[in-house]
Amino acid sequence: QGAAHALKASTQWAKTRPQSIAAQFAQLRAATHANATQALETGTQEALARIAMSDINGFASKTELANSARVMAFLQESEKAEARAQQAIERDPSSGDAWVAMAEALASGQKDYTQALETASKVAPLTLGLSGQLIEPAPEPVEEEGEGTETAPE
């Protein structure tokens, strides 16, 4: 049920934000997780239309470029994804979103993506929920002094 709810929410978001490539990307990912073939096909067509309009009008931000790169990588259009991610990086080399988009573009083309992910984690440490990026594992808990140790009875 969670996947179906995510699909419903992301579809609503995409409808209310017709120019948002991020909203469309969320809908594509949710459709995939929900195994919703029709929604995936419709979402793909809508995503490509939104990206085409952005190509005509010019991408307004590095974030739009990065999101369009992620959509293209998702659709296995790795060369186009790589080119868009590179444009986003050129606009702002300190953008974690742009570097994650490059990692996804490289991965979709079966290329080594580790350097791009390492750069992303350096320029913008990955945090829970940041544009759907990969999440670093939580740090190991630190034991308080005296915690977890037994002392011999006196």
pLDDT greater than 50 at residue 135: no
CA-CA distance, 29 to 9, in Å (whole number)?
12
For the entire predicted model, the pTM comes to: 0.66
Residue matched to tokens 């790589």? 82
For residue 3, what are its two tokens? 């996947």
Q: Which 3 state secondary structure label does DSSP give 86?
A: helix
- In the DSSP assignment, the letter for residue 130 is S
For 77-121, how does the pLDDT look when each residue is reduced to its tens digit (9 = 90+)? 999 999 999 999 999 998 888 998 999 999 989 999 888 888 888
Per-residue burial over 69-108, b if 16 or more Cβ lie within 10 Å, else e, is bbbbbbbebbebbbebbbbbbeebeebbbbbbbbbbbbbb
For 21-40, how does the pLDDT look when each residue is reduced to its tens digit (9 = 90+)? 888 888 888 888 888 888 88
Distances in whole angstroms, Cα of residue 135 to Cα of each of 4, 15, 51, 68, 127 = 23, 28, 27, 21, 6
For 47-77, how does the pLDDT look when each residue is reduced to its tens digit (9 = 90+)? 887 777 777 667 667 888 888 898 899 889 9
Mean pLDDT throughout 129-153? 48
For residue 132, what are its two tokens? 């759907």
